[in-house]
Amino acid sequence: GENVEQHPSTLSVQEGDSAVIKCTYSDSASNYFPWYKQELGKGPQLIIDIRSNVGEKKDQRIAVTLNKTAKHFSLHITETQPEDSAVYFCAASLSGNTPLVFGKGTRLSVIA
Amino acid sequence: DADVTQTPRNRITKTGKRIMLECSQTKGHDRMYWYRQDPGLGLRLIYYSFDVKDINKGEISDGYSVSRQAQAKFSLSLESAIPNQTALYFCATSVGRNNSPLHFGNGTRLTVT
């Protein structure tokens, strides 16, 4: 089955700097790659996703890039703010009928 | 997501007890899931259901059972709780379409002593 590795497990950045979280996946047939943000005491929420026919997607300060050849995808957050502090999860899915497989999460701390 | 409600929010139980975690949704989604979150291990799938009466095992189904009584309800049972089932449990839903986002509840924190 699919295996998703996520790095780093913790990340601290100064407010205003950029943050990058990287994930690799094992099955080249995977075609859907969402990112979730989990705030304290809440369930994860989708922040951005990308499909395998697209190399990059951007939504305001967040962007995701996908390299199918290398089987890795990354989340980029620019101009970080304290409210970006949370746990971020990447995930991958083989097909619509295959549930998402999640990475182990990255705890991002933005220091004011 | 307030449209996915998990009860209880917190539960402490003793080893060997049977316990049920409830999930209900008002989103009208066909698909429902149960995930478990442990520190450093991320989210791992326990069971999922694509429709009423459809039940599928996930990565870590041993020691758990589920029931999909209606489209809107998906319950998770621990027949005989053990301490290593202490974790944060999340219910999620999605529409019945390929690669649709998951919508999570706010979780149930379970402690087995």
Report the SS3 class of residue B55. Answer: coil
B108 and B88 Cβ atoms separated by less than 8 Å: yes
| pLDDT above 90 for A50 | yes
User: Which chain A residues touch B105 with a CB distance below 8 Å?
Assistant: 43
Q: Kindly list the residues of chain A whose beta carbon comes within 8 Å of any beta carbon in chain B.
A: 6, 9, 31-32, 34, 36, 41-46, 49, 51, 89, 93, 95-97, 99-105
Q: Measured between CB atoms, which of B58, B104, B106 is closest to A99?
A: B58
pLDDT score recorded for residue A96:
65
Interval A10-41: pLDDT, tens: 999 999 999 999 999 999 999 999 999 999 99
B39: left (phi over 0), alpha (psi -120 to 50) or beta: beta
Interval B42-89: pLDDT, tens: 999 999 999 998 999 999 999 999 999 899 999 999 999 999 999 999
Report the SS3 class of residue A48. Answer: strand
Q: Measured between CB atoms, which of B58, B99, B103 is closest to A51?
A: B99
